[in-house]
Chains A and B, each alone.
Chain A
């Protein structure tokens, strides 16, 4: 079991809500999507890969087979699912301080939601309702989402550059090359092992091995 893979952390939080308030929450989600400025803060937090909120009505829980008995549930549930870079605390704290009112808006219909500030009751609420990740895989263990975005920028710009400039005279080529570097100046970060967010013995050992591998 680990919530961590490479530089990424997976968080699942399932919180109960009164079934008759579901429509209100849907309305809030709908309004947020209509006015994307509301999500500016979330989008600016570059440690976040994505964050998704899904409401599961109490009679819509999936069954593997029609023969599986239906559950009688008291509450409907909201599932929050996010992948991010950095530690649990960094993520939750960033959320709390950057967009406290947005969080409160999304979660306020949920049972015993304490509000995002002060911090400790919010920490406790998330921790209490978090479901640990059993299996988690990352294709790029040394990449944060910012690194993936940068790599995509670099790849596209290089292909375009090659098509447009490869046959130019040396002077023009240099000029184009400098322009290319300028355009990509925020995409040249190194990719190395993650700073450890877990002091689990295995995590420390693995990071040490990766650092040594990089030295060869």
Chain B
């Protein structure tokens, strides 16, 4: 590690995925600033409880965290100077709903169908992550008191969800989220389609001293090793992969240093459609029912049960053998087995299809297409397109055969440049495939498939084997956007300056 970050200044949710620290529950609040002066006072009150990225000694770890972020209209409402506001990039200024043509939020994902809260202007996001529902409720009550006391901000209602009796409602004042528990009540890393999630999160310079954590998660070197990505890919005020400070930083430096941008997206999962689609497709997939899980893995690039990477386990036999080794391995070895792979021995996609989710969002070195030393570094087209993923599933499934109800993922992506990183992945790699030489073929799980004109993907087979590839056709829309926006997560220094009304770009 060549860089020491000022962890006491950076908000904790940037550096830590709270879920992996035992914070299995979360509540997200959205507010409107009604009065600049009183709004700034409110920011000051919340800042006192904002969780930094400071390393926790085991016994001193908190049981609940709080973080805060702002939309562009929010910063305007808090009366940041115009010269500072003008330094923000266009994507952030526009906000998520106005970027729908880029994000592919059309049809059922169109902003007009989003939760009611997104039909008005959101200014502030506050997150509470907790080890139990009780501590979350306690912190929530504390925040309600601050809202009450400030008299300058309003907690916005309008999240779809369920009331205490399980009845569907549309006007909740918060969005709850939680890991999913298995039948024995053990927390899992799964989402509602059954996939194991959040394994390959990127690692950047200054985040960890543990070299093992970088394997398969940093950037691939020419020698086949892994290095942490440049800090500036994820935190403003630090040098990025282009050897410069991120150009998305507003002035003054004290406003932008140690800050980042967050994409918040509520993604509804059409579970009934997914289960039905998987069964239908299994029936015509070679091997039939025995290969149902293999087919599910072909959509994602990882097996649903334990996240085994498909490149290392391309069939049931190799998977069974991998499972045995995985079960016998210690935790560091297990982590290595989950992340330490590339697609360089699978350029054709015979093992892990070019359309698979994990391959699309992080192609590792495979965009060199096996051409020896084509680029200066194997990840040349990838290292600037990485995002930190935070967030948790929300809702419970009552009926595996139905899409109805409220369940999905609260997806949060953190990056220094929303357009270059998150939007690029969404537009070019999920909803389009020229970089993968697959025309307009969308990724199966997240693609904005069009019911009137459904798409397909090709599951490749061994080249020269004489076997036909498998076509997955008539892919329905499996995931729908239900809301979201773009947020700026300032440093703790900047929060205090915003609260004090002393942001000065001159």
Interface residues of A (CB under 8 A from B): 7, 40-41, 43-44, 46-47, 85-86, 89-90, 93-94, 96-101, 117-120, 144, 146-147, 150, 175, 177-179, 181-182, 185-186, 188-193, 195-196, 199, 204, 207-208, 211, 214-215
Contacts and interface: CB of A to CB of B under 8 A. Distances in A.
Nearest to B442: A190
Interface in B339-384: 348, 354, 368-369, 371-377, 380-381, 383-384
B106 to A, nearest CB: 8
Interface string B401-437: 0000000000000000001100010011001111101
Contact of A44 (B102, B368, B433, B465): B368
B469 interface: yes
A192 B440 CA distance: 6
Contacts of A98: 374-376, 380-381
A6 B83 CA distance: 37
Contacts of A199: 101-102
A195 B432 contact: yes
A190 B376 contact: no
Contacts of A181: 468-469
In the complex, which of the residues A44, A175, A208 has the most CB atoms of chain B within 10 Å of its own CB atom?
A44
Interface stretch (B48-56, B151-159, B453-461, B485-493): B453-461
A189 B433 contact: yes
Interface string B289-303: 000000000000000
Nearest to A146: B437
Given A97-B376, A99-B375, A195-B428, A215 B437 contact: no
Contacts of A193: 440
Contacts of B247: 120
Contacts of B458: 185-186, 188
Contacts of A185: 348, 458, 460-461, 463, 468-469
Contacts of A196: 101-102
Given A44-B369, A97-B376, A119 B244 contact: yes
Contacts of A44: 368-369, 371, 374-375
Contact of B428 (A86, A177, A207, A208): A86
B329 interface: no
Nearest to A212: B452
A96 B455 CA distance: 33
B188 interface: no
B221 to A, nearest CB: 14
30 contacts: A7-B434, A40-B371, A40-B373, A43-B374, A44-B375, A47-B434, A85-B434, A97-B375, A98-B374, A99-B375, A100-B376, A117-B242, A146-B439, A147-B439, A178-B466, A178-B468, A181-B468, A182-B463, A182-B468, A185-B461, A186-B458, A188-B439, A189-B433, A190-B440, A190-B441, A191-B439, A196-B102, A207-B101, A208-B101, A215-B452
Given A117-B243, A119-B244, A190-B439, A101 B376 contact: yes
A191 B433 CA distance: 10
What 10 A-B pairs have minimum CB-CB distances, sorted nearest first?
A189-B439, A118-B244, A119-B242, A192-B440, A181-B468, A185-B469, A44-B374, A98-B375, A189-B438, A97-B380
Contacts of A119: 242-244
B376 A40 contact: no
Contacts of B438: 186, 188-189
Given A46-B437, A195-B427, 12 more contacts: A89-B420, A94-B381, A97-B380, A118-B242, A150-B437, A181-B469, A182-B469, A185-B458, A185-B463, A186-B348, A189-B433, A199-B101
A144 B368 CA distance: 18
A100 B431 CA distance: 29
A63 B383 CA distance: 47
Contacts of B463: 182, 185
Interface string B164-181: 000000000000000000
Contacts of B435: 46-47
Given A120-B247, A196-B101, A215-B450, A190 B374 contact: no
B467 interface: yes
